[in-house]
Structure 1
Amino acid sequence: MTRSGPRPVIGVTVSRRSGWRIYPLIALNLWLAGGCARRWQAGRGIDMGTVDGVIIGGGDDISPDLYGGRLVTSARLDPDRDALERGVVLDAFARGMPVLGICRGSQMLNVALGGTLHQDAYATYAASDHRRTVLPRKEVRIVAGTRLARLAGDAPMKVNALHSQAVDGLGEGLRVAAHDRGGMVQAIERVEEPFALGVQWHPEHLFYARRQMGIFRALVAAARARGAEAAQLAGVDAEAG
């Protein structure tokens, strides 16, 4: 259960195109998990000193300029958002602040830490189920012994899928926490403080699922631990029970 006390404030980056419909869902999940949300997007001022944690939300593709990749013609880019979110991730880690990456946000977490992406993930992973839906119809396999497994269990999980890019080379300090049956990375996590988790799916659409809510509760627990100057990973593990 989430501990009592002031609600940690979580900065949430969203797309200028789709943020109007995605942000309310993320805010709802954070509220149910014991936190509160603050909307951030490119073109608006942000203040890292006013939040306790960060969510990098989904939406636009990430420019290959950030990691030396190849641009595909179907990519929908927002360079201003790329710059904002890369800076937010790096500043968050410099401040010892927890980070949750959702879909694009998981990819940005990886890129900000020096990793690379597959621009056309399903061309690379032909055996992966190419399902584009907000409904939980794609199966992912959680890696045993990871923090995600502690949070959500290591049984196969049904999730949604809206992405075209995926993690390729891992960024510094990250490990794979889940993949699909074709081998495509579906979740990554930081192995040391501060807490950071990236999931390729959209848990904000699945707020009715206990395993998905555990992801948001973990971020809130990490933010609360940071506020108490305590170990975040221990706080997350305690939340997981």
Structure 2
Amino acid sequence: MSRKPRIAVIMDENTSVDGTRYDTSKSYFAAIHRAGGLPFGIPYLADLVAPVVEEFDGFLSVGGRIGFPEAWYVDGDRSQYQPSDRLAVEQALMEGFLARNKAVLGICNGMQMLGCLHGCRMVSDVHASWPGALNHDKRDLLHGVTIRNGTKLAGLVGAETFEVNTFHREALVEVSDGVVAAAHGPDGVIEAIEVPGRSFALGLQWHPEKFASADHPGTRVFDAFVQAARRTD
């Protein structure tokens, strides 16, 4: 009998204050549940990594603002965010799920981690580093994205262009041979990546969970994510 896939959701934290509280949008959990999955929040405890990787069906890396390793940035750049216990646990979880070819979805911070674990590099302030870039760190801004033909994302969303939200300062700017840039903004900023050869390893720079209750092409990503995580006992 089939069962609902169990999705591990790394918790975010209140890094803008003092990092003493887990602080994660309910929208992530609602989007996974709407798509037919069972979401579980995962705290930053190292001894949880192995059992979570073994027992859960998919991993969602949510948005956040934490310090990444300097080696993940282009030369001369580095993170402007504070160090966090989240980094080591999240990286171990993502690597564990990828190694077992289980479904991985990275959103914002999660897309950047997914890319950098596959050889991509990023900048700490895309608006300052990318000539002509939009100010992407604006919660009330919507902008278009263009989906690359022939990608897995194109098949999932069933649309060539649509509007997305944007509230991020960092962004991937160098894509390795191990990753495909699946979408771009009107300014050329990379808005989605996917890892070929994996059952489901997709990163989105925007926040599709914010559209979970609307008829938006991006919500289909959650449907596909949960479906990829589905298995039969």
Q: TM-score, normalised by structure 2?
A: 0.86
Change (3 A) 1:68 1:104: closer
Separation of aligned partners in 2, 1:29 and 1:216: 7
CA contact 1:62–1:104 (8 Å) conserved in 2: no
- The residue type equivalent to 1:212 in the other structure is G
Answer yes or no: is 1:40 the counterpart of 2:37.
no
Change (3 A) 1:194 1:172: farther
Separation of aligned partners in 2, 1:136 and 1:36: 31
Q: Could you tell me which residue of structure 1 aligns to residue 219 of structure 2?
A: 213
Separation of aligned partners in 2, 1:149 and 1:170: 19
3-state secondary structure, aligned to 1:205: helix
Between Structure 1 and Structure 2, the one with more helix by share is 1
Which ranges of structure 2 fall in alignment gaps of 5 or more residues? 16-21
Q: Which of structure 1's runs of 4+ aligned residues deviate more than 4 A?
A: 68-73
Answer yes or no: is 1:16 the counterpart of 2:13.
yes
Answer yes or no: is 1:183 the counterpart of 2:188.
yes
Separation of aligned partners in 1, 2:141 and 2:126: 19
Q: Could you tell me which residue of structure 1 aligns to residue 18 of structure 2?
A: none
Separation of aligned partners in 2, 1:219 and 1:135: 27
Q: TM-score, normalised by structure 1?
A: 0.83
Change (3 A) 1:5 1:176: same
- The residue type equivalent to 1:177 in the other structure is A
Which ranges of structure 1 fall in alignment gaps of 5 or more residues? 230-241
Separation of aligned partners in 2, 1:13 and 1:116: 22
CA shift, 1:62, in A, is: 4.0
The alignment's C-alpha RMSD in Å is: 2.3
CA shift, 1:72, in A, is: 5.1
Q: Could you tell me which residue of structure 2 aligns to residue 137 of structure 1?
A: 142
Change (3 A) 1:163 1:137: same
Give the total of aligned pairs.
Answer: 222
